[in-house]
Structure 1
Amino acid sequence: MTTLERRALSRITTDQGRVLIVAADQRNSMKAVMKDAPDGAASVTTEQLAAAKADLVTYLANNGPAILLDPETALPAIVDDGVIAPGTALVVGLDASGSETVDGLKHTCRIPGVTPRTVREMGGDVAKMLWYLRPDRQGADSRTVQEIRDLVRDCEAEGVLLIVEILTYALPDETEEEYAVKFPELIVESARLSVDAGAKVLKLPYPGSAEAADAVTGAARGVPWAVLSAGVDHATFIGQVEIAVAHGAAGAMAGRSLWKDSLTVDPVVREDLLTHRALPRLLELADAVNGKVSAHA
């Protein structure tokens, strides 16, 4: 890492040096959990979503090291309005909503016009980009791995640390059972390919076991990797994080496991739920990433 990148990494970690980021760059999936919307997710306006994200920062993320936000609904307004606390770092998501499928392989796209320089201009400390990857079908010369390589280079040139997020998925010709068998090795090989492409911080799904976490740590070759919550419930995620951290993970990046049942259109109810339901979860997650094993483990 460059000196700037090391400084940025320190901004997204706890006092114990563990990565901890509240993920709030979701758009459609965040609308979907606002169940008090009069006509469902489709009726949640961009303004309402932006207000929910601002409250999520105020009552939840400002109590942790960092918040991940998107430039489509949240930024730059949340920065310009002074919502983010001075001690909370900003991670800017670069991936657009949705994906495209080409020859059976999924691909994500960048948000148009958002570059590593844009991250700086929005006051960001770090950038994050999501890619879908099937390392059994895509190698070092694939479109996805080349995109990782290019964006790592562009971010480094701009002095921006990039978090490389990888998700794997079932192919059209395989069953969920077949995919589940392959899943741990897919995560391990995704980590290996990403690091080969220059990734300096990884955001990965929990690979399924302590043994698989050890293998991911080996494949990462010293590059820090953090576990994403993937929509599982909070208790499940805490258990996953405790195992992953004990076997080499650098921390966690959590979204829906923290706030999916605390977001409403009503700002008064939302404040109460974020304060009394989501915040205790964040504090418990901080203990987990710092290696304080919970009583249920």
Structure 2
Amino acid sequence: MESLTIGRWRGLQQLSTPEGVFCIVAVDQRGALKRMLEGKGRSSDPAAMTAVKREIVGALNRDATGFLLDPEFGAAPLAASGDLLGRNGLAVSLEATGYEERAGDRLSSVLDGWSEAKIKAMGASAVKLLIYYNPRREAAARHQEELVRQVSARCRALDIALMVEVVTYPSSDDQSREAFQAERRALVVESAARITALGIDLFKAEFPVAPAVTQDEAVWYQACRELTEASRTPWALLSAGVDFDTYARQLKVACRAGASGFVAGRAIWREAAEETDSSRRQAFLNRVMPERLRELVAIARREAAPWTSKLSASRVDEGWYRDYRGLEA
């Protein structure tokens, strides 16, 4: 079992329940949210992006253990407005939205002008890095792994927790959708094994079985057990834009198989961006969306494995503070 320095330990505590279960709402979408708003004829200027995020976080801040927010439209504005409560943990995105495409490969980068040190300085609980990754694409995989190593080293120097989200993509440019979905289980499990070995603290994972491949929950469970066994760190389930009912089923299976909770976005709040009827939208924000979150929280608290089953706090000896490096590293 890996032991965490006190800053990383406290960061994960802030993002989870007292029992060690993550109930985090992801509202760090930038490009995806912009497309959702524009697809419904709504404004997507910076003020509109922030306004939607405020509505979502303001309606969910009593039930979520934490929020994942972006630096451009979310983290600082929502902290300053009071929509993000002091008791809510905060993970902040490090990466630029989207990816650079080179010969079919998808390469991630840090947002220009942003850094792990700034995330630490603003009082966040954790840094979050999203990478597009396929271990079969060897050159791109090496590039992404090196990025994770560099970010991990900087986070450790700052003593701040690091969450890494992996989004897989096809192994070849001409791979069919069906073939990619069939391969997803192997890709997600291998990605967990490789990325969690690079010094991260929390793995934000795709559900390893595409719903189109099978609806057999016994198969889902076995795939999630493989993911748990492959991961050196705790893992939490992302929602990947699936509908809420599907996600709730996935979360129940994932938690029974060893996941430590969820970091979910659009499955909870999609209609906040897409509903154009004002009365229906208000009903969604006030009633449906909070009910969805409460249902997921109940599942996670009942079924999830605590993250402390894979991580412990570093030993604290008398006079520890003399040798603590903190920001002096």
Instruction: Answer yes or no: same fold by TM over 0.5.
Output: yes
Is 1:211 the counterpart of 2:222? The answer is yes
Kindly provide the amino acid, as one letter, of the partner of residue 157 in structure 2: A
Counterpart-to-counterpart distance in 1, 2:294 and 2:159: 31
1:16 aligns with 2:19: yes
Q: Which amino acid aligns with 1:241?
A: L
Identify the residue that residue 247 of structure 1 maps to in structure 2. 257
Matched, 1:2 2:5: yes
Q: What pairs with 1:118-157 in structure 2 (closer than 5 Å)?
A: 118-138=118-138, 142-157=142-157
SS in 1 for 2:74: coil
Distance 1:166 1:28 in 2: 17
Q: Is the 8 A contact 1:242 1:291 kept in 2?
A: no
Asked whether the equivalents of residues 139 and 193 of structure 1 are also in contact (C-alpha less than 8 Å), the reply is no
Match of 1:237 in 2: 247
Pair 76,267 (structure 1): closer, same or farther in 2 beyond 3 Å:
farther
Offset of residue 103 of structure 1? 3.0
Paired letter, 2:106: K
**Cα distance in 2, alignment partners of residues 165 and 134 from structure 1:** 13
Q: Retained in 1: the 8 A contact 2:133–2:141?
A: no
Structure 2 contact 21–260 (Cα < 8 Å) conserved: yes
CA deviation string 1:60-108 (max 9, x = no partner): 1342110111111123222123221121111101121221112321112
Matches within 5 A, 1:50-69: 50-69=50-69
Pair 1:215–1:36, CA change in 2 (3 A): closer
Change (3 A) 1:113 1:269: farther
Deviations 1:206-262 (A, max 9, x none): 0121111111111113x1001100000111001001101111111111100000012
In structure 2, stretches of 5+ residues that fail to align are 210-219, 305-329
User: Residue in 1 aligned with 2:183?
Assistant: 182
Partner of residue 300, structure 2? 289
CA deviations on 1:150-207 (whole Å, 9 max, x unpaired) are: 1011011112101010010113121112212211010011001112212221001001
Q: Identify, as 1 or 2, the structure richer in helix.
A: 2
Name which of structure 1's ranges 256-265 and 123-132 shifts more when overlaid on structure 2: 256-265
The residue that corresponds to 2:32 in the other structure is: 29
In structure 1, what residue type is equivalent to 2:255? Answer: V
Does structure 2 conserve the Cα–Cα contact (< 8 Å) formed by 1:92 and 1:126?
yes
Where 2:75 maps in the other structure, the secondary structure is coil
Identity of aligned residues (%): 30
- 8 Å CA contact 1:27, 1:97 repeated in 2: yes
Question: For the residues of structure 2 that align with 1:35 and 1:183, how far apart are their CA atoms?
Answer: 30
Would you say 1:227 and 2:237 are equivalent positions?
A: yes
Deviation at 1:141, TM superposition (A): 7.6
Amino acid aligned to 2:46: T
Matched residues in 2 for 1:110 and 1:266: separation? Answer: 37
How far has the Cα of 1:31 moved from its partner?
3.2
RMSD: 2.2
Partner of 2:47: 47
Aligned AA (1:258): I
Conserved in 1, the CA contact under 8 Å of 2:224 and 2:258? Answer: yes
Paired residue type of 1:126? A
Amino acid at match of 1:214: R
Count of equivalent residues: 289
* Residues in 2 aligned to 1:141 and 1:33: alpha-carbon distance in whole angstroms: 30
Counterpart secondary structure, 2:302: coil
Task: Determine whether 1:173 maps to 2:174.
Answer: yes
Matched with 2:201 is 200
Please list the CA deviations of residues 125-145 of structure 1 after superposition, one character each: whole Å capped at 9, or x if unmatched: 111110011112238981110
Amino acid of the residue matched to residue 197 of structure 1?
A: L
Report the Cα offset of residue 55 of structure 1.
1.6
Whether the 8 Å CA contact 2:31–2:98 is kept in 1: the answer is no
Aligned partners of 1:36 and 1:265 also within 8 Å: no
Q: Which amino acid aligns with 1:33?
A: M
In the superposition, relative to structure 1, how do residues 120 and 265 fare at CA in structure 2: closer, same or farther (>3 Å)?
Answer: farther
- Structure-2 separation of matches of 1:269 and 1:80: 28
